[in-house]
Structure 1
Amino acid sequence: MDKLLEHANLENLTGLWQLMGATQVTEELQQSISWPRRCWQHPDQQAAEWSEIIEHIPANYLFPVWRAGEASVALEQALRRQGLEVGLEQLAMVLPLDTDTPSPDHPRLDVRLIESHEQAEQWSSLCGRAFGYTLDAEVIDQLRQQPDVDVLWASLNGEPIATAILYRTGPVTGIHQVGVPPELQGQGIARELMLMLLERARSAGAEYVCLQASVAGEPLYHKLGFQPQFRIRSYRRG
Structure 2
Amino acid sequence: MIQENINNLISLWQVAGNSVNSYFENENFNYAVIENSDWPNRIWFDHDVDNKSLNAAKEFLSKQSKNLTVPYWDIYDSYSDELFESYGFKIKFKQIGMSMKLKNKFDFKKRLTIELVSNEKEAQLWENIYPEAFGYRISKEILLNTQNKIDYYLASINDEPIGTAIVYNTGNVSGIHGVGVIPSARRQGFAEEIMKHVLNESINVGMKFSTLQASDMGKGIYLRLGYSEDFTIKNFILD
TM normalised by structure 1 equals: 0.89
Which runs of 5 or more residues in structure 2 are unaligned? none
* Alignment partners' CA distance in 1, 2:186 and 2:57: 39
Q: Which residue identity lines up with residue 159 of structure 2 in the other structure?
A: G
* Alignment partners' CA distance in 2, 1:81 and 1:206: 42
* Partner secondary structure for residue 194 of structure 1: helix
Q: Identity percentage over the alignment?
A: 30
Q: Which residue identity lines up with residue 44 of structure 2 in the other structure?
A: W
* Partner secondary structure for residue 145 of structure 1: coil
Q: Deviations over 1:7-49 (max 9, x none)?
A: 110110000000111432521311112122111112xx23543
Shift of 1:88: 1.9
What's 1:89 paired with? 94
* Alignment partners' CA distance in 1, 2:55 and 2:30: 16
The answer to whether the Cα contact below 8 Å between 1:54 and 1:79 also exists between their aligned partners in 2 is no
* Alignment partners' CA distance in 2, 1:234 and 1:93: 16
Which runs of 5 or more residues in structure 1 are unaligned? none
Q: Deviations over 1:103-130 (max 9, x none)?
A: 11x2111111111123212101111110
Structure 1 range deviating more: 154-163 or 7-16: 154-163
* Partner secondary structure for residue 134 of structure 1: coil
Superposed CA RMSD in Å reads 1.7
Shift of 1:101: 5.8
What's 1:40 paired with? 44
* Number of equivalent positions: 226
* Alignment partners' CA distance in 2, 1:164 and 1:23: 23
The answer to whether the Cα contact below 8 Å between 1:24 and 1:31 also exists between their aligned partners in 2 is yes
Say whether residues 1:109 and 2:116 are aligned partners.
no
* Alignment partners' CA distance in 2, 1:203 and 1:112: 15
TM normalised by structure 2 equals: 0.88
Q: Which residue identity lines up with residue 24 of structure 1 in the other structure?
A: F
